[in-house]
A and B are shown apart, each in its own frame.
Chain A
Amino acid sequence: MNRQVWLASILLACAAAALGQVDSEALANSQQDDESWLMYGRNYSAWRYSPLDEIDTENVGRIAPAWIFQTGESGKFQTTPLVRDGVMYVTGPSNHAWALDLKTGRELWHYSEPVPGDLPLCCGKPNRGFAILGNRLFKVNMQATLVALDATTGDVVWEVESADYRKGYSNTVAPLVVNGMVVVGIAGAEFGTRDFIDAYDAETGERRWRFWTVPGPGEPGNETWGGDSWKRGGASTWITGSYDPELNLIYWGTGNPGPDLDGAPRPGDNLYSDSMLALDADTGELRWYFQFTPHDVHDWDSVADPVLIDVEVDGQPRKALVHANRNGHFYALDRTSGEFLFARAYTEVNWADGMTSAGRPILIPGHEPTDEGTLTCPGMGGGHNWHATSYSPQTGLYYFNSGDGCQIYHGATQDFVEGEYYLGSAMENVTGEPREGSILAVDPGTGDRRWRFALVSPPTSGLLSTGGGLLFAGTAEGYFVALDAARGKPLWRLQTGGPVRAPAITYRFEGRQYVATAAGSAIIAFALPR
């Protein structure tokens, strides 16, 4: 090879590498990038909508697996894969991750990190996905660490500890990259932790800011916690938020106060548990908050997707944030100010009789958990829990799933023991009344339900809507399903052989549309036959 050809090859390689870099602009324009899936919610507004329309309501019945990747790992696969430049990046349970060749599904590299045996966990060892910036991938590990990986090799570039896992902290959230920072939440409220949202420098891993979701002494909101209960206040942040670049605000939901079911040790509203937070992206300072369930005693985390939609409410155009809460209500807020716009019950609710004009639930007495137990609807898991939702600008509908049914809530006083469950008792199912589920389509400007697809079991998967007029979902019994997004009618399904616990993604590769999802312990990519 002569010198000129050699130099030209180097320059071409550099140019290709540069083209492959995911910069802030690429993230901001992710909704227009049909060949990639660059963040948890696909765009900063968390729509999980792709305009791709090669697969549509007419031909979806012919899609079939193009490849299947068997991970060989057990556990809950709840990941949203990322796609860029012919590679799919997938996280799995128990600190595993893979890079897969989009053409064949073959493994390019495998990352793993042992989970400490003494890690206190409430809910398995899932992980919900990577974030990406430049040629780096970012993921959390179960032991409350954040790692940056080289996207080409899977090698660790840096690793930081967010909190001490021995105190009950853990992490499962997919990070969100904003303004060169990696924003992550934390989990641990079932163990009496005090939780937060962190932002780390994507280049160095240095922490740039932290927002404590339970205010400390002297901070506004600390007065809503009796005594020193704020120290064990919980308010975890275990699902990815959204971001409005114009307002430079990050929106992130918070979880239950601790102990979950016993309100006696923590008199007050318990800010900012069960709330939506709007934080300045550069500083982490609180711009506004809205608390959905003050002084929660039913474990109704409010971590579900904060979805940003410009929509007409009561005849007025609003920059809205919509959110399906575990407490059984669908909410619309003004995302510039946090103003409550409206709330509508979407499943059976027996604990509140509507809302005040400010959005505070009007409580129906008799639903505090007791030693003997109280029947309350929805049950502990909701309502809509954490599973990814979707907004289709094509249909104008917002899609989310719901666990439907009630549970008996038992309360009991419990002393705090570091690293041990701090629940204040437990729930039990109602005999002869199995909890079921549904996929719902609502008008985001009114909360009116447009259709409901019933599920025999509480939902397990997230949702994806496409320009082909489709809504993709999965079921606990292993079906991967395409519904008509306008009417909710099933158009296609495949029994995958394992529970579908992840939301699907879609992308175009070599001119062909693919839809991919985790099912059981496998990743499956579907396409129309060539």
Chain B
Amino acid sequence: MRWRVLTLFVSLAVAAAGQELERSPFHGDEASIGAGKASFRLRCSACHGIHAEGGKGPPLNRGEFSAGNRDADIYRVIAQGVPGTEMPAYGTRSTEENIWRIVSFLRTFEAVGDERVDGDAERGEALFWGAGGCGGCHKVGRRGGSYGPDLTRIGRSRSVQHLREALLDPDEDLPAGYFVVKVVTRDGKTISGIGSGIDDFSAQLRDVSGKLHSFLREDVESIEREFKSVMPSGYGESLSDQQQRDLLAYMQALRGEESR
């Protein structure tokens, strides 16, 4: 009965105040927090991790949030999304009450402080466009190559932990759409590159020179899809610890301003 009374209260409160509420009406309510955790795992965990530890999306288990630490700030981000990132707006897909329940779940994590990168962003930038060779494949703003993911807003959309893993072990978590297609033609040639599409009858890919190819399965010897990155591995050895930190500091600073 307790939750029924609470739900009634919340319904009235939400109806009256909508998104104007500063604090989740479910704050501290265990049943609602449990429901929020369930919703989080269903809708959010694919990007933010099953334990909110972060992944493609920032970690949300650190008690601090980049868009603001008030309940209303977290609500706003969930409801309206973050333009320019993969974070969609859930305001049209979920009820206000359900979003507040997710907010209440996220507020159960104690503040542990954001991870700081002890690096020099300016040195990282020089490395990125110079000896590191990153800019040959990655674009920032209008500068750089387009074989790898666009990093213009990567500091907004990825956690430092995720960026570090992506640098040191690119195969661990491929960005969506970045699988490799390998085609062996009837005359024995192998052509591989980033897959633009693959289905039961055809494949389209872009090779390292940027050239587009399209093949029908019936016209070639084989078409295989590989879930490994074309980004070279081994940066853990070729870059010093300090260089890695500098690069991460640079990427963490990429918030999208360069595209303006």
| B68: interface (CB < 8 Å) | no
| B199 and A477 within 8 A (CB) | yes
- Contact flags A443-481 to B (C-beta < 8 A → 1, else 0): 000000000001111000000000000000001011101
| B227 and A423 within 8 A (CB) | no
| B31 and A431 within 8 A (CB) | no
| B98: interface (CB < 8 Å) | yes
| B200 and A477 within 8 A (CB) | yes
Cα distance A383–B255 when bound, in Å?
42
Contact of B199 among A414, A426, A475 (CB under 8 A): A475
| B41 and A432 within 8 A (CB) | no
| B38 and A423 within 8 A (CB) | yes
Which residue of the partner chain A has the closest CB to B51?
Answer: A371
| B37: interface (CB < 8 Å) | yes
The smallest beta-carbon distance between A199 and chain B, in angstroms, is: 33
Contacts of B174 in A (CB 8 A): 432
Stretch from B42-50, B70-78, B107-115, B150-158 at the A interface: B42-50
8 A Cβ contacts from B140-182 to A:
171-174
8 A Cβ contacts from B1-53 to A:
3-4, 7, 30-32, 34-35, 37-39, 41-42, 45-46, 50
Counting chain A residues whose Cβ lies within 8 A of the other chain, the interface size class is 20 to 34
8 A Cβ contacts from A404-435 to B:
410, 412-418, 420-426, 428, 431-434
Contacts of A420 in B (CB 8 A): 35, 38-39, 98, 101
Cα distance A426–B200 when bound, in Å?
29
Most central of B42, B46, B174, B197 by chain A CB within 10 Å? B42
Cα distance A456–B228 when bound, in Å?
17
| A373: interface (CB < 8 Å) | yes
8 A Cβ contacts from B190-226 to A:
197-201, 225
| A456 and B199 within 8 A (CB) | yes
Contacts of B228 in A (CB 8 A): 432
| B95: interface (CB < 8 Å) | yes
Which residue of the partner chain A has the closest CB to B98?
Answer: A420
Contacts of A415 in B (CB 8 A): 3, 30-31, 34-35
Which residue of the partner chain A has the closest CB to B95?
Answer: A118
| A456 and B227 within 8 A (CB) | no
The smallest beta-carbon distance between A142 and chain B, in angstroms, is: 15
| A490: interface (CB < 8 Å) | yes
| A412 and B227 within 8 A (CB) | no
Cα distance A204–B38 when bound, in Å?
41
Most central of B41, B171, B225, B227 by chain A CB within 10 Å? B41
The smallest beta-carbon distance between A438 and chain B, in angstroms, is: 10
| A431 and B172 within 8 A (CB) | yes
The verdict on A425 contacting B31 (CB below 8 Å), with A415-B3, A477-B200, A493-B201 known, is no
The verdict on A426 contacting B201 (CB below 8 Å), with A415-B34, A417-B3 known, is no
Contacts of A433 in B (CB 8 A): 227
Which residue of the partner chain B has the closest CB to A454?
Answer: B200
Most central of B3, B38, B101, B199 by chain A CB within 10 Å? B38
Contacts of B171 in A (CB 8 A): 432
Contacts of A434 in B (CB 8 A): 225, 227
| A428 and B227 within 8 A (CB) | no
Contacts of B45 in A (CB 8 A): 426, 428
Cα distance A478–B199 when bound, in Å?
9
Which residue of the partner chain A has the closest CB to B173?
Answer: A431
Cα distance A70–B258 when bound, in Å?
42
8 extra A-B contacts, CB within 8 A, seeds A413-B34, A421-B39, A424-B38? A118-B95, A412-B41, A417-B32, A418-B4, A420-B101, A479-B201, A481-B200, A493-B201
Query: Can you spell out 15 A-B residue pairs with CB atoms less than 8 angstroms apart?
Result: A410-B41, A412-B37, A414-B37, A415-B34, A418-B4, A420-B35, A423-B41, A425-B38, A431-B173, A432-B171, A456-B200, A456-B225, A477-B200, A478-B199, A479-B199
